[in-house]
Structure 1
Amino acid sequence: MAGEIFDGFRVVGFDLETTGFDVRKERIVEYALIGSDVDGSDINLQSLVYPEKRIPFEASNVHGIKDQDVRDSGNFSEHIGEISKIINDSIVVGHNIIKFDWKMLEMECFRAGVETPKPRAIIDTLVIARKLKIPGRHKLGILCNKYGIDLSNAHRADADAGATLILLWKIMKENPRFFRGTIDDLQDSLAGVRRENLLGPGLEDLEPVPQSRGLLRINNTEIIIAFGKHKGRSLDEINRNDPRYLNWLFSPSSPIERTVCEKYKHLFQG
């Protein structure tokens, strides 16, 4: 399963609410780290933060946090210790985390004179959505709506962090091929270091389905198509996203032997 890429790691969704968007000038007013530890136990660290400046009306209008809400919450220096304990050696997941949340965290650490936490990996669901060319706009709210994820409390850190984790899981289930490699393979692919089709075993490494002339390959419990526009995708994935193509694949017009078609066709009927 695609989720195995994260086995053995602490995985947390991360989100910030701030006084604005300029990472050089603005400050954190709320953070959340939501996820699970290596042993499966829940992680839920969230808090308001005193930003040491006024919260502009425009920002409060987005996340609902006002000056009086954060007055006694402690400044960033009082929170970074707990934040670092969770982030260090974790896989940290966020939406637009690379260009915003992480840069904001780095600037706050710089101001506080402390070292930025060191995660095992940073996974950005915005980058993944763009990499996979998921149809439509890629704002968190739009993607959550597309995948049926409740985000009724949008623009609060805990809601956005939790929703981002669920979004990643749903994208992984829909696109297992993209997540077959290691966490390092995934990071390299998102950074453009490797091509997507180098993640995990190559098609030539997979055992051919008998009598398929190599057009179908076996990858654990999945059957992978090795030609055409869906090359590298599993039959299950094609059935979910392009069932008309699967109908053609099992039709008399298919280049796959009829005996092989009949063997697998019944799995996707009814």
Structure 2
Amino acid sequence: MKLQLTRPIIFFDIEATGLNISSDRIVELCFIKVYPNGNEESQVIRFNPGIHISAEASAVNGIYDSDVADYPYFKDKAGELAAIFQGADLAGFNSNKFDVPLLVEEFARAGADFDISKCRLVDVQTIYHKMEQRNLSAAYKFYCNQDLTNAHTALADTKATYEVLQAQLDKYGEELHNNVEWLAEFSRQNKNVDLAGRFVYDEQGTPVFNFGKYKGQSVADVLQRDSGYFGWMMQGDFTQDTKQTLMRLRLNTATR
């Protein structure tokens, strides 16, 4: 079943130097941009991450330092990529937990103008886990009745993710709405305020801490009675998105 789109949606997959959102870097990004009229465009882009690719990452994605030594840094392509991604919804496999936060972190480091809050995020893995509880290779076999060759290469994983979502729409019919806004909401696992989930909305829609000694407590209340906690977080090993969200929450508290 073809996706019903009101604006472009980008299916993408990232290979990185490791799994730490705040310190690791993108080495390969593949995307397929699908337009409402059905047209598609795709690219596979490699980057010199500027840091060592961990042995664990290379063992999975097959990319080593020497493979990307002559490629541009992410910051050199950030403006071009931001223009491609801006105004489109985003989709991937486990993308809400890893690919989207890492992409946003790279854009922030590069100083690129990219507003993730305007994107609807469809995580095909979340839909899959809610419906069947398996991984991408099994999802591809289950929904598309094919074996996923070249797994853990960005292009193969991205194409498989796109095909799996279309097959999910066919299989579940009215259980899944062919609407990106509905799919994005169904893909959510938590009501995160920031991408990393350090802050979440409680049942009343109030931003609260989701970690540490103030877990479950209102961010606004904590910042009012413990101003040092703000400074500790801004200096800590948190993603730029988390810090920017904290700054925004603090400014909202100050203007109440």
Q: Does the alignment reach a TM-score above 0.5?
A: yes
Structure with greater proportional helix content:
2
Per the alignment, residue 141 of structure 1 pairs with: 137
Deviation at 1:60? 1.1
**Cα offset, 1:117, TM superposition:** 4.8
**Contact 1:35 / 1:165 at 8 angstroms: preserved in 2?**
no
1:23-75 Cα offsets, whole Å, 9 max, x none, are 11111000011142233322112111110011122211111111111111101
Percentage identity across aligned positions? 29
Corresponding residue for residue 184 of structure 1: 181
1:150 to 1:93, Cα distance in 2 relative to 1, 3 A: farther
Unpaired segments ≥5 residues, structure 1:
194-270
Q: Measured at CA, do residues 68 and 192 of structure 1 come closer, stay the same or move farther in structure 2, by a change above 3 Å?
A: closer
Instruction: Tell me how far apart the structure 2 counterparts of residues 185 and 83 of structure 1 sit (CA, whole Å).
Output: 26
**Cα deviations by residue, 1:73-104 (Å, 9 ceiling, x for unpaired):** 10111222232233222232100000000111
- 1:216-259 CA-to-partner distances (Å, cap 9, x unmatched) read xxxxxxxxxxxxxxxxxxxxxxxxxxxxxxxxxxxxxxxxxxxx
TM-score under structure 1 length normalisation: 0.63
> Post-superposition shift, 1:116?
3.1
Matches within 5 A, 1:190-201: 190-191=187-188
Equivalent residue letter for 2:80: E
- The equivalences for 1:1-270 within 5 A come to 3=2, 6-118=4-116, 120-132=119-131, 134=132, 137-147=133-143, 148-180=145-177, 182-191=179-188
**Maintained 8 Å contact 2:122/2:180:** no
Which amino acid is the alignment partner of residue 10 of structure 2? V
Q: Which amino acid aligns with 2:137?
A: G
Q: How many residue pairs align between the two structures? A: 188
Please report the RMSD computed on the Cα atoms of aligned residues, expressed in angstroms.
Answer: 2.2
Contact 1:87 1:117 in 2 (8 A): no
SS of the residue 1:79 aligns to? helix
TM-score by length of 2: 0.67
8 Å Cα contact 2:91/2:123 also seen in 1 = yes
Q: CA deviation at 1:162?
A: 1.0
- 4+ aligned runs moved over 6 Å, structure 1: none
Query: Which runs of no fewer than 5 residues in structure 2 stay unpaired?
Result: 191-256
State which structure, 1 or 2, has the greater radius of gyration over its C-alpha atoms. Answer: 1
Separation (CA, whole Å) in 2 of partners of 1:56 and 1:190: 30
CA distance in 1, matches of 2:189, 2:14: 26
Q: Residue type of the partner of 2:168?
A: I
Please report how far the alpha carbon of residue 158 of structure 1 lies from its aligned counterpart in structure 2 after TM superposition: 1.4
